[in-house]
Amino acid sequence: MHLDYIKGHMGGNLIILLDGRQLPENEQRQLEIALEILSPLRLHGHQAGILFPSSNPNSLQVKIVDITNRGFIPACGGLTQVTGKVLATTDWAERFSIKKTWNKFYVILETASGKTRLDITRKGENTTTYTNMSAFAELLRSIGIYAIQLGEVQAFRSGYYLVADAEKIRKAFPKADFEQMDQYSVDVLANLQKEYHKATGTTNLHFCLYDTKTDKGGHLRAVYPHSALTGYIEPACGTGSIALAMALLMTEEGQTLGLSNGKTIKVTLETGGDPVLGGPDETTVEIIIEGNKLKAIFSHSFVEITSTGIVFV
């Protein structure tokens, strides 16, 4: 079987897009094939997006496969950013009958967490995608967002995400160095993740680490050690950025940091590059709560297509 693919990344978060019409109809086989393609010995990626045409205008159905959890996941922010770049700059928009103009268009991704709108703009060679992740933010809120004590460290549960302040971890483990992310530091994070699993009864490997020690003008630094238990850390993550902003907004932490008034938050995160705390890119998240309604938008400053072609499985 040969499959067309496009590979790209959002600040180092590696995404592979596939045409679902070329895969078997059986969902388990789709998962197995996507995981094989994502493996380090094949195309090497963190998430795969299996795309299908939709009967709705300017829409795509998307199944998202995650290499860390080795299954389908409800949302992926990096995938939305790469998809925006791909639709704006390649012929995959025509492949899926997405209507576009040169400078501005939109597409709706129909995901397991709900409809996700991408507003895509182009200025010269620069493409920016604004991802509306309100449905995903609502999913996190429905699961629960609150402070949680993990041994000596006070952290947050943000839906199925563990969110932790690196400075609070350093106070409990002074030798931890998340700028270098040596083995000791990775072990500290892995053990914290184990404590989180015990406290919540979950097994999800979704983790956002942040602190306030910025050096490029952002509000916070962040990194996403989803795979601390298995040794890999993502330098940028859209869902993790939303989970962080929601944790700050829905607890008193955002107000303590001067980033939220309890109803809104707009935060710029220093991310990307190497899998360490901070980075050369900017992830911008804005969340607004009006009554019972919630609006969450994010974008990332550096999205790149790295290869296109055919993969044999």
**What pLDDT, in 10s, does the model give residues 60-83?**
999 999 998 899 999 999 999 999
What are the angstrom distances between the C-alpha of 101 and each of 86, 104, 120? Answer: 14, 6, 10
Over 90: is that where the pLDDT of 265 sits? yes
Over 80: is that where the pLDDT of 231 sits? no
Over 80: is that where the pLDDT of 308 sits? yes
Average pLDDT, the chain: 95
Please list the alpha-helical segments (H only) found in 39-163. 77-89, 92-95, 134-143
Q: Which residue has the tokens 């429905």?
A: 142
- Across the range 103-130, mean pLDDT stands at 95
Does the 2-132+302-312 domain belong in CATH 3.60.15.10? no
* Architecture per CATH, 138-300: Roll (3.10)
Q: Which amino acid is at 113?
A: S
Q: What percent of the chain has pLDDT over 90?
A: 92
- Across the range 213-238, mean pLDDT stands at 90
H or E element at residue 118: strand 114-123
- Across the range 92-120, mean pLDDT stands at 95
Residue 68 has a pLDDT of 86
Residue 204 has a pLDDT of 85
**What pLDDT, in 10s, does the model give residues 271-289?**
999 999 999 999 999 999 9
Residue 33 has a pLDDT of 98
Residue 60 has a pLDDT of 98
What are the angstrom distances between the C-alpha of 193 and each of 65, 117, 181? Answer: 21, 32, 16
Residues carrying CATH 3.10.310.10, the chain: 2-132+302-312
Residue 112 has a pLDDT of 93
